[in-house]
Chain A
Amino acid sequence: MDTTIKNSNLKSEEYFINMGPQHPATHGVLRLLLTIDGEIIKKVEPDLGYIHRSIEKMCERDSYQQIVHLTDRMDYLSSHINNEAVCLTVEKALELEVPERVKVIRTIIGELTRIASHTLWWGVMGMDVGALTTYFYGFRDRELINDIFEETCGARLTMNYNIPGGLMFDIHPNFVKRTKDFIAHFKTKLPEYDTLLTGNVIFQKRMKGVGMLTKEDAISFGASGPVGRGSGYSCDVRKHHSYSAYDKVNFNEILKTEGDSFARYQVRIEEMWESMSIIEQLIDNIPEGDVQVATNAVIKLPKGEFYQKVETARGELGVYINSTGTKNPYRLKFRSPGFSNLSLLNHIAVGGKIGDLVASMATLDLVIPDIDR
């Protein structure tokens, strides 16, 4: 009754609540310590390390060929691009020029990886805000890409297709046809994503004006990938520090200036169209030639420091190798996109509700092994 509430001594106070480490919306073992007042978030403090495998320390023990395989296990949804990052760094250090055929195939598979990652993100993102159907739509299309990978690389997720100096083996004879079939199929399916979710009024109300991030903050927090581009920050590594065959194709860097969750959502949806366009430009023009250049069985990098950045589905992955001229790196650092993107979660969530935190976090597209390494 009215009077009871008015006259009561009930008052709100701040308290802690654990979100995770086993929480469906964190998509992995991420624990968030929330300080809340009622349902208003006062502070979000991530607690990391539940699946830290000290990959950087293991790299100091391993040969360069072995390191490539560890990188699959970081951002497992961009495994091909992670592999490529290490290979490119080693090739840069050895001043090794890989054949054009390798560059084109790497680019095609990289873009297929991006579509696969974005479809999975779209599925689980819809699920996070209560739209369960998206999950099945997203996985339906992603399976087709995984089938292509399985045929060519032998694996569906951790592909291990790159080696320093090229590719492990040539593409499967069916690769070109299946990729084209997939593009034709996905062109009819991607508009369904918009019909089902993008235009939904409830969904838009959950997304628009929520999780605001300005361009200045995006740069300061080291945001990259769709998170940065949703705030109007031009950060596409494929454009600014082109690698593999990206300098040979025309594509647009998708930029949105709103800086809210909906902008980040739109960037990823439109990026899938761009990825399809990149694949279409390359798939009929894969140059003939070898798929690897010979390297020594034991790769020794020259003394020095080498840095290479690539654009994974989540943003900028950097590989820093400090070599003393031996067969192992003296120090190897992975600058992972998820780690920097996670650091801005507190900034965009404070002042909002717990439900909005889940929605904002979904648009950051975090992969926890990428953060924990």
Chain B
Amino acid sequence: MDLTKDFKTEFMTNEALQNLISSWISELEFTEESSEFLNITVKAEQLHQLMSQLKSNTETNFDYLFCLTGIDWGKELGVIYHLESTTHRHIIVVKVQTEDRENPTFDSVCDIWKTADFHEREVFDFFGIKFNNHPNLKRLFLTDEWEGFPLRKDYVDEINMVIK
């Protein structure tokens, strides 16, 4: 059985992807600057809707979440999702951010990609970003007693425990 034959048959260019995705949700921001992939910035409340559509739509079919990164932009906290389609082989980057540093919350995408379970726990651990509807949101690497979130830019590391 040749499992590799169907590749790149329905590959979509960045332009085609942008045209299709912008027809689902109107308020998305697209950019291709300073990145090799198409970047979409989405509002937190539309994140889950966009993500499930990216996965379920047969033309996009982003079934592989290969990287989930937490990031602290100084003022905002955000999450970056790298998605790939294993059938069409196109790649897209989805970004979401919030200015609420006290209680940053996004919807979990665990129900769409199972790999998000661990990745979101890692982001929660290091950035303190909470994910709604996550089945088991608790610290993954650090102990439960750990204070603060070390990968935030304003983390105070008084005894040089994180960086020597």
Q: Which of B33-41, B42-50, B96-104 contacts A (4 or more CB under 8 A)?
A: B33-41
Interface residue count for A (Cβ, 8 Å)?
44
**A366 interfacial by beta-carbon distance below 8 Å:** no
Distance in Å from the Cβ of A92 to the closest Cβ of chain B?
8
Question: Which residues 1-55 in B have Cβ within 8 Å of A in the complex?
Answer: 1, 3-4, 7, 33-37, 39
**Is the CB–CB distance between A222 and B65 below 8 Å?**
yes
A257: Cβ under 8 A from any B Cβ: yes
Whether A49 is near chain B, meaning CB under 8 Å from some CB there, is yes
B163, A233: Cβ atoms under 8 Å? no
A367 to chain B, nearest CB (A): 16
**CB within 8 Å of B: which A40-61 residues:** 48-49, 52, 54, 56-58, 61
Indicate if B67 sits at the interface (CB-CB under 8 A).
Answer: yes
Question: Which bracket fits the contact residues of B?
Answer: 35 or more
Residues in chain A near residue B59, CB distance under 8 A: none
**A318 touching B67 in the complex, CB below 8 Å, given contacts A54-B150, A305-B35:** yes
Give the contacting residue for A304; candidates B4, B35, B71; CB below 8 A: B35
Residues of A within 8 A of B (CB): 48-49, 52, 54, 56-58, 61, 217, 219-222, 224, 232-235, 239-240, 253, 255, 257, 302-307, 309, 316, 318, 320, 322, 331, 333, 335, 339-340, 342-344, 347, 372
* A-B CB contact pairs (8 Å), 22 listed: A48-B141, A49-B141, A49-B143, A54-B151, A56-B151, A57-B162, A217-B114, A219-B86, A220-B113, A221-B114, A221-B115, A232-B3, A240-B89, A255-B4, A309-B66, A318-B82, A320-B67, A333-B67, A339-B122, A340-B118, A340-B119, A347-B114
List residues of chain B with CB under 8 Å of any chain A CB.
1, 3-4, 7, 33-37, 39, 63-67, 69, 71-72, 80, 82, 86, 89, 93, 113-115, 117-119, 122, 126, 140-143, 150-151, 162-163
3 nearest interchain CB pairs?
A304-B34, A222-B115, A49-B141
